[in-house]
Structure 1
Amino acid sequence: MSQIVSMPSSPDIAAHLARQQCSVQWRGFFQALAAEFVAALPPEDLRALMFRVGARFAADHPLPACVTVEDLQRSMTAVWTSIDWGWVDLTQEVAQLNIHHSLSPVSAAFGPDHVQWSGGFLEGVYQSWFDQAGAGQLKVVQCAPADAWGCVHLQLSR
């Protein structure tokens, strides 16, 4: 039986909980880093940089051999939960695989003004993991900016 969780009705409570996704000791550092990034590079270059950082992360956190989509989801979620970065749900459709990453701290770390390029990190991670799994001919693309909770929808397709 699934449990239904409601979102806080108070915007103040929701904002407080969203801020908790990035430790206060790191938030100022990441926001200053984001400001320097934005001053130095256009958004498309920042997205490409974050993609490369994500690919490096995936190389440092390789997945074991996986046979099924469920195996991939389990292995990916094991990496994310081990570092308190949420989890992933993979759902297969006819021409694509939906990737729903829940509770990534990236948007909380860099702030809502930087979701245009910070999502490149998860694109890079998932692209590299799917490349490792043998899906190199397919591409991971983020479908919408992360929400305040760090939930991101991506797709793997041609």
Structure 2
Amino acid sequence: MQWRGFLQALAAEFAAALPAEDLRALMFRVGTRFAAEHPLPTCATLDDLQRSMAAVWDRIGWGGVRLQQAAAQLDIHHDLSPLSAAFGPGHAPWSGGFLEGVYQSWFEQAGAAQLRVAQSAPADAWGCIHFQLAR
């Protein structure tokens, strides 16, 4: 709550200065920096990876993550992200780049550098965002 006004003003300034695709790229880079500062331990299984990711989000109160194997991709469900609440719902199209960058970096750390994380659905009103990891 104490940061909401500041963050919404910051988001409005960002949106006034840069197109959405540039803002998304900026947030992606911020996400990669975050992931570098919060590296995951070596994980032997997908469950281990999910637990390690969830532990980071739990420590900072940023919701949770579920990883679900599908036929040709891995579905990443991030629940209750504070991004929409912090920046406002109008900025959800570019603010999700942060989580995309975090997950991309974490999967690269885990040895999946040949795969790409991409947002597969817009964030909902509760801050739930869906991504896919695929070729």
Alignment of 1:6-45 (within 5 A): 24-45=1-22
- Aligned with 2:127: secondary structure? coil
Alignment of 1:17-96 (within 5 A): 24-96=1-73
Q: 1:145, CA displacement in angstroms?
A: 1.3
Mapped to 2, the partners of 1:27 and 1:139 lie a distance apart of: 31
Match of 2:94 in 1: 117
Q: Which of 104, 108, 112 does residue 127 from structure 1 map onto?
A: 104
Matched residue SS, 1:85? coil
Gaps of 5+ in 2: none
SS of 1:123's partner is helix
Question: Quick check: 1:103 aligned with 2:80?
Answer: yes
Deviation at 1:116, TM superposition (A): 0.9
Any unmatched runs of 5+ in structure 1?
1-23
The residue identity in structure 1 corresponding to 2:57 is W
Give the aligned length.
Answer: 135
Q: Distance in 1 between matches of 2:93 and 2:50?
A: 25
Q: CA deviation at 1:148?
A: 1.0
- Paired with 2:20 and 2:121, the residues of 1 have a C-alpha distance of 15
Q: Output the TM-score relative to the length of structure 2.
A: 0.99
Q: Percent identity?
A: 76
Distance 2:134 2:85 in 1: 28
Runs of 4+ with deviation above 6 angstroms: none
RMSD, aligned α-carbons:
0.5
Q: Report SS of the residue matched to 2:66.
A: strand
> Which of structures 1 and 2 has the bigger CA Rg?
1
The AA in structure 2 aligned to 1:155 is Q
DSSP-derived class of the 1:149 partner? coil
Q: Does 1:137 align with 2:114?
A: yes
